[in-house]
Amino acid sequence: MNIRKWSLKFSNDLRLKYNSESTIKCYEINVLKFLNHFENETEPKAIPNEKIKEYLLSFKTLNTRKQNLCAVKLFYKLTIGMKNKVSKIPYPKKENKLPRVIEKNYLIKTISEIDNLKHKAILSVAYSVGLRVSEVINLKIKDIDSKRNLIAIRNAKGGNDRYVPLSEKLLFLLRKYFQQYKPVEYLFNGQNKLKYTTSSCNQLVKKYLGASYHFHLLRHSCFTTMLETGTDIRIIQKIAGHKSSKTTEIYTHISNSFLSQTNTPI
């Protein structure tokens, strides 16, 4: 099999369909892995479905299996033109696990005591409106609308744009940070790059908040806090950039205030 040919064709097809480089990279990696596994086959269309199933079952976790199945299905649909080739292979049943959250008072106290202004600003921006790590590192200076107290989130998950609120307290912090660091183009510059990195953001969480935590927990913690302090779930959905309200409703299952309002039989 000419792996390079199929890999290149798939990459071109992905770039016609998606704007997100991280999405494209994820699909590319998984399909290249798939092609390398079946390098002795003549062509992708000749790979038997049973062998594809065996390949997918080699991934032990459901999330990894699902991710690889998505990539293989997209490869056959976009590049091979055989959308029904693996259509009957079912997606693994999703595990309904509730997201972890970090306690509000601990978060606010810990972040407020950080001396490094850049680190403090990064964690504050993320927790204030529940931004994904990719949204934080892609923020540009021009996205901060201080006149309308808004932050523009551009080309987020799914290629969508949205606005989120900018509090006076956060604006004050960002102004102090800007005066000290004088960032260029992107709000948070790295040491040797224009953009701060995902791994550096995660290191900040582990350094200041705890080794068992990761950056995305700031997002879960933000929306849980919003819900507990009375923010309408439709507003939270808009701030989060969720397409479906069902995604936002998961926070009702972990909100202490919602649970405390429940009348139990005994």
SS3 27: helix
pLDDT (0 to 100) of residue 190: 92
pLDDT (0 to 100) of residue 230: 86
Mean per-residue pLDDT, 116-141: 96
Question: 184 near 194, Cβ under 8 Å?
Answer: yes
> Tens digits of per-residue pLDDT, 139-197?
999 999 999 999 999 988 877 899 999 999 999 999 999 999 999 999 999 988 999 99
Domains of the chain listed by start with CATH number: 3-80 (1.10.150), 104-260 (1.10.443.10)
pTM (2 decimals)? Answer: 0.72
Q: How far is CA 87 from the centre of its chain?
A: 26
Tell me the pLDDT band of 87, cut-offs 50, 70 and 90. confident
pLDDT (0 to 100) of residue 227: 87
User: Tokens in use for 177?
Assistant: 């940070």
Give dist(CA 177, CA 116) in Å, integer: 9
Summary mean pLDDT of the chain:
91
Mean per-residue pLDDT, 235-240: 93
Q: How far is CA 110 from CA 83, 94, 209, 211, 222, in A?
A: 51, 34, 7, 14, 15
DSSP at 162: E
Of 196, 186, 174, 179, the closest CA to residue 140 belongs to 186
User: Tokens in use for 148?
Assistant: 């309308």
Q: List, by residue number, the catalytic residues.
A: 132, 157, 216, 219, 242, 251
**Is the pLDDT at 255 greater than 70, yes or no?**
no
